[in-house]
Amino acid sequence: MLISFRLPRPLLDELDRLVEDGIYRSRSCAIRRAIELLLARYRVADSAIH
């Protein structure tokens, strides 16, 4: 699935730095991981409430 969105330049610059430093292979990999971590955090918070 392809999605499109806008990022402020400072965030994009930081994201590119992570890729350039070899922490992530691509912008897509970094964004995918960020979303996974965000969703996991909310799953844990939701399970603590219920």
In order along its 50 residues, the chain shows pLDDT tens digits of 999 999 999 999 999 999 999 999 999 999 999 999 999 999 877 777 76
Whole-angstrom distance, CA of residue 29 vs CA of residue 45 = 24
- The whole-model pTM stands at 0.81
pLDDT of residue 36: 97
According to the model, what pLDDT value does residue 50 have? 66
Domain boundaries, the chain: 9-49
Computed on alpha carbons and rounded to an integer, the radius of gyration of the chain in Å comes to 14
Q: What was the pLDDT predicted at 43?
A: 87
pLDDT given at position 33? 98
Integer Cα distance of 43 and 38 in angstroms: 9
- Determine the length of the chain: 50
pLDDT at residue 19, rounded to an integer = 99
Q: How far apart are CA 38 and CA 5, in angstroms?
A: 17
